[in-house]
Structure 1
Amino acid sequence: MSTPQFPEQPTTPLPDLSQSQNQTQQLGQAQPQGQPYGQPSQPYGQQAQPTTQQPTSYPAQPAQPAYEAQYAAVPTGTTLDKTNTFAFLAIILAFLSPIAGIVFGHMGLSQIKRTGDAGRGIALTGLIISYAYFVFVLLFFIFYIGLLITVFAGLGSAMSGLDSYSSY
């Protein structure tokens, strides 16, 4: 049984190529040599004359060496197992919960610095996205609360003119 890391290699030998070369040479001798490109077979206005030329044989081709069985290179594992887990969590949580993305991003960077794991770029990307998302949400709430204060102040101002005691 083969595993994805070390696949089984085929054990059947390659077919013998010398028989197919002999057949190719025999076929080549039986075929007549034709006109090369660019030369007309007959000029215009003349009838074709029957030819009695004997076909010429092709020179013998040197035998090609038989190919040895070549095995595919053993695939190497991915670097996913060496990448810091906190870095992955930082980039995933950057979109779901920016505060958790910031925490895991900083934890991942400190582990990467300490242990030398891969994933520094992923942790930095998670941190950058988390901080940008956090600032965007914070500005959104500030403007939303400011809008609500403005709406209620305007509504209170408009309602103050409808006071029933001031009309007498």
Structure 2
Amino acid sequence: MTAHPAERSGDPFASLTGQGLFPPARKRPVRMRGVTEADLPELHRLDREVFQEVAYPYFMLRQLFDMYADHLFVLDDGEALQGYVLAGTVLGTGWVLGLGVARERRGEGLGRRLMLEILRQLRNDGVREVRLTVDPTNAAAIALYKSSGFAPAAADGGLRRNYFGPGEHRLVLELSL
């Protein structure tokens, strides 16, 4: 005797619901907000998840928070931080120092949401030019930045060899606000 397809799947209700007994968990909505000092351990966790070996050490995130708290935003789902963006300013130029989204939340437009928020904040603060660096092999990030209006910072395409040390090349992009 041949088993019914739902029986073969191990879930006899799969044919009724199309999903089985346990539908995929719904992702919690995120809320954009500024960072607080209490967020620093969770921000450090997220930064390590996203950037791994080139993540900021905790002490550096602490100092960046002290200097640029007005330019540090997170996406919070009520349980964990799902994304962040950090910018600093020097002599009227803004620098996006970090933008990351949790692995399981990528592809939802959260990176774009973070970028739009930091650009809005920088523009409101009178910044007229924004720069950032990106790993030249990170096609997804480059696509996000270019679709946000960023372009290579120089006629040579913006590639800076050994920018972060031997073998650590970066693409420098800029945007006029």
The structure where helix makes up a greater share of residues is 1
The structure where strand makes up a greater share of residues is 2
For normalisation by structure 1, the TM-score amounts to: 0.22
Bigger relative contact order (CA 8 A; separation at least 6): 1
Rg larger for: 1
For normalisation by structure 2, the TM-score amounts to: 0.21
